[in-house]
Structure 1
Amino acid sequence: MNARRSGRAPVRGYGITAWGRAFVDPVEAEADHRHITGARRYFRDRHVDSLTILPGRITAAVRGSQLDPFTVTVQPRRIDPPTVVDLLRGTGRLDALLELARGEQPAALRELIAPTEPADVPSSCTCPDEAPRCIHVLATVFEVAARIDRRPTTLLHAMGTDLPELLALARGGDDDGESDAATGEEGGPGRPIVREDWYGDRTPLPAAPVFGTVDPLTELEPAALRRALRASGVPATVIAEAVDDLAELYRLLTGP
């Protein structure tokens, strides 16, 4: 039965993708069953607030057994982006970066950036629990893993890099050492772009096309959107509200 129709909130999940699970496993390896079970409850009940993910530093405020929340800090081992790109190039897997750009989770890249042991993910908490991984730390890591499940590039960010940086390093690392003007210069609208010498003749690529702005909620097929919402179990009385929410989300994603 649909969770919305039954009146029950959907069960939250984390680590349901290989990339999300790769971030969780080294931390859970130091935790016992009691702490993991309690942290799962905190995660499901959304006890983790103010989650901030910065390169090599994750912080959160976690509501626990006391009036004031506990402060959690997780400091993933930062990777060296040039080394990652060199290893991908050496194994002929630079295409993993393009796979990630398409929203996939390439194993070749995950194996180079994800933590592999507990020491790669040190953590601390202001709670009095002296266990290697307290409930609050675990709940925070679960929240981060849930974000990685939704957006794999979150793992890159937490480990100290991002996809644009890796792509730039991949473009600039040609073997003959030629300048970026020959191999990676970006051209604006109307200007050619010269990339890696795939065909051996330094052929300039045509300029990228310029597309006008399109509002998919109004200019494509709004009737199809409403049919899809009805099929997903959204009551007919709230479809208009759901469309408004989607429009606001689209505005935030595409706005300046």
Structure 2
Amino acid sequence: MSARRGTVPVRGYALTPWSRALVDVAEGRFTGDGTDAAVDSRKITQARRYFRDRHVHRLRIDAGRVTSSVEGSQLEPFEVTIEIRTVDTATVATLLRAADAVTEVMSLSRGEQPRTVGELVLPTESADIVGACTCPDDSGRCIHILSTLYEVAVEIDRRPTTLLSVMGTSLPDLLDAIEELAPAPDSSPSGDSGRIGDENDSAPPRIDFYGTGATAPPLPSPPRMNPLTDLDATALRTALRASGVAPGDIAEAVDELGDLYDRIIEP
């Protein structure tokens, strides 16, 4: 039997952990502080219908702010503005280092949604999401606000980095903040860090160039780097493919490289 004329294709949202967590907070299903109240189920049902029927237009996602126009019961669309509590990039970077989860950040470039990053970035209570709409419902969770948040969830399903954007950060900013937290190279005049010394640590190392007895120059102090975050991710995947890694095993190979690199640089 052919589909009925005019039938709108079924749309899905909150298909991934991050978008599901955002929707749970928006609908008041996550009671982290014990005070959140779930949104009326009738509103949720109506908002889902608005989402499926594509009533949300001109969606714009900025740092801590989402806006849209939603077709409703009146001739003119309702204007929606949603303010979301943003995160501090430097604090997130510090907590990622403390949790030994820096390598998780790189998985974002592969379209993954790492658990620790999500825990540090996602809203955790209804108060983190404040909505306003030009419709008569001033509850802060009208059907127009909810349907807009469902559209945001779709964007997160498509590109996990959308969550970083709406929470006031980005993948490049997060990587820069992590790099700034890297230990600075030892710049002491004696050049003791990493130097192969002799029995007298106060004297520079000696090296014999064909009997000249010349003093060896101090060892260089290159800036600290992580090749898995500094290199082009596309070039890295291309190199892995050229080495014989199957396409389905590339993500696992990158994670193994990250583990090996951590072991190399750890004292």
TM norm structure 2: 0.65
Q: In the aligned structure 2, how far is the partner of 1:90 from the partner of 1:138? A: 35
Question: Higher Cα Rg: structure 1 or 2?
Answer: 2
Corresponding residue of 2:25 = 26
Quick check: 1:64 aligned with 2:64?
no
8 Å CA contact retained: 1:172, 1:183: no
Determine if contact 1:183/1:196 at 8 Å carries over to the other structure. no
- Alpha carbons 1:26, 1:118 under 8 Å: kept: yes
Please name the residue that 1:38 is paired with: 46
More helix by share: 1
2:112 corresponds in structure 1 to: 104
Q: Which residue of 2 is the match for residue 174 of structure 1?
A: 182
Gaps of at least 5 residues in structure 1 are 185-194, 199-204, 212-256
Tell me, which stretches of 5 or more residues in structure 2 are unaligned? 29-37, 188-220, 236-267
CA distance in 2, matches of 1:133, 1:10: 26
Please show how residues 1-256 of structure 1 align to structure 2 within 5 Å.
6=3, 9-29=8-28, 30-176=38-184, 182-183=222-223, 195-196=225-226
Q: Structure 2: which amino acid aligns with 1:27?
A: A
Query: Offset of 1:102 from its aligned partner?
Result: 1.3
Distance of 1:178 and 1:46 partners within structure 2: 58
Q: Deviation of residue 166 (structure 1)?
A: 0.4
RMSD of aligned Cα (Å): 2.7
Question: 1:74–1:137: 8 Å Cα contact kept in structure 2?
Answer: yes
Runs of 4+ displaced beyond 6 Å: none
Aligned-partner SS, 2:118 = helix
Q: How many residues align?
A: 189
Compute the displacement of 1:103 (Å): 1.0
| C-alpha deviation, 1:9, in angstroms | 4.6
Report deviation, 1:52.
Answer: 0.4
Deviations 1:88-146 (A, max 9, x none): 00010001101111111101100000001001111111100133410000000000001
DSSP-derived class of the 1:75 partner? strand
Return 86-95 or 19-28, whichever deviates more. 19-28
Change (3 A) 1:177 1:127: farther
Task: Report the TM-score, using the length of structure 1 for normalisation.
Answer: 0.68
Deviation at 1:10, TM superposition (A): 3.4
State the 1:178 CA deviation. 6.9
Which secondary structure state, in structure 1, belongs to the residue aligned with residue 155 of structure 2?
helix
1:42-95 Cα distance to aligned partner (Å, 9 max, x none)? 000000000000001100000100000011011110100000010000010001
Q: Distance in 2 between matches of 1:46 and 1:40?
A: 10
The equivalent residue for 1:192 is: none
The alpha-carbon deviation at position 182 of structure 1 amounts to 3.8
Q: Give yes or no for contact 1:75–1:123 (8 Å, CA) kept in 2.
A: yes
